[in-house]
Amino acid sequence: MTDTEPIEIFSVIRERRSVRNYTDRDVPDEALRAIIAAGIQAPTALGLQPWQFVIVKDRGLMRQVSDYCKPILVEKIGEEARSGTEEFLAALKSPGFNIFYNAPVLILVLGAQEAVSSVLDCTLCAENMMLAAWALGIGSCWIGSAALVQQNPDLLAALKVPADHQIVAPLIFGYPGPLSPKAVRREPQVTWIA
Ligand SMILES: Cc1cc2nc3c(=O)[nH]c(=O)nc-3n(C[C@H](O)[C@H](O)[C@H](O)COP(=O)(O)O)c2cc1C
């Protein structure tokens, strides 16, 4: 790398945002392969690369997962009653709401149970995937709510999650509809020690 080389990655990092509004345009398999290829470039503890991927395009199955998770989330979020969750809680109570925002693709990043740092490793992989997608004009969002599906053996079987793996990152992908503004970042507290 030279000082004069344009560092395009900074604009991808700066501009990426969670997309919750998708067009029906199909995401080509080639793009999904490129996104996973970027994911697996992430660093991993001991170089273990403890991941597997499940690509779900079956909207009916995604709907089933959403329908399963929604009431559990309503109960959980209702119990916690934290400020800022009111809007999401109201959406969850609406029968038409889909936790995957009707995205055309869900990719589950699965972490091997036996690997020491699989959650951290798969999280780094997931961020690479979301940044690569953005660079290709494809939106994404981490749907943590979907991890609740791990309590349902039938759905886990339908999602082909092996028993020795856990769902770390449920990521949706698709071509964005009109974009929401980027969420504002707080000034970071930084301590310098020289
Ligand atoms: C671990 C994790 C879980 C998340 N789960 C959800 C979710 O269930 N539903 C959702 O709409 N967004 C979810 N998000 C997206 C965050 O809400 C989003 O990243 C955050 O508000 C910052 O916005 P940005 O991604 O646009 O910068 C999740 C993000 C992370 C990292």
Six-digit token pair at 33?
Answer: 């392969």
Residue 116: pLDDT over 90? yes
Range of weakest confidence among 17-21, 58-62, 76-80, 119-123: 76-80
Residue 6: band (very low, low, confident or very high) from pLDDT cuts 50, 70, 90: low
pLDDT (average), residues 112-118: 97
If DSSP codes are grouped into helix, strand and coil, which group holds residue 32? helix
Residue owning the nearest CA to atom 9 of ligand 1: 143
What is 15-174's CATH superfamily?
NADH Oxidase (3.40.109.10)
Would you say residue 7 has pLDDT above 80? no
What is the DSSP secondary-structure string of 115-146?
A: STTHHHHHHHHHHHHHHHHHHTT-EEEE-GGG
What's the mean per-residue pLDDT of the chain? 95
Q: What digits encode the pLDDT tens for the residues 48-100?
A: 999 999 999 999 999 999 999 999 999 998 877 677 888 899 999 999 999 99
**Ligand 1 center to 156 CA (angstroms):** 22
Nearest to 174 by CA among 53, 26, 54: 26
Q: Is the pLDDT of residue 151 over 60?
A: yes
Give per-residue pLDDT as tens, 65-75. 999 999 999 99
Q: Evaluate whether 170 touches 108 at the Cβ level (below 8 Å).
A: yes
Probe target for ligand 1 pocket from 143, 168, 185, with the most ligand atoms within 8 Å of CB: 143
Which of residues 83 and 170 earns the better pLDDT score?
170
CA–CA separation, 180 and 161 (whole Å)? 33
**Ligand 1, atom 30: nearest CA belongs to which residue?**
142
Closest Cα to atom 3 of ligand 1: 144
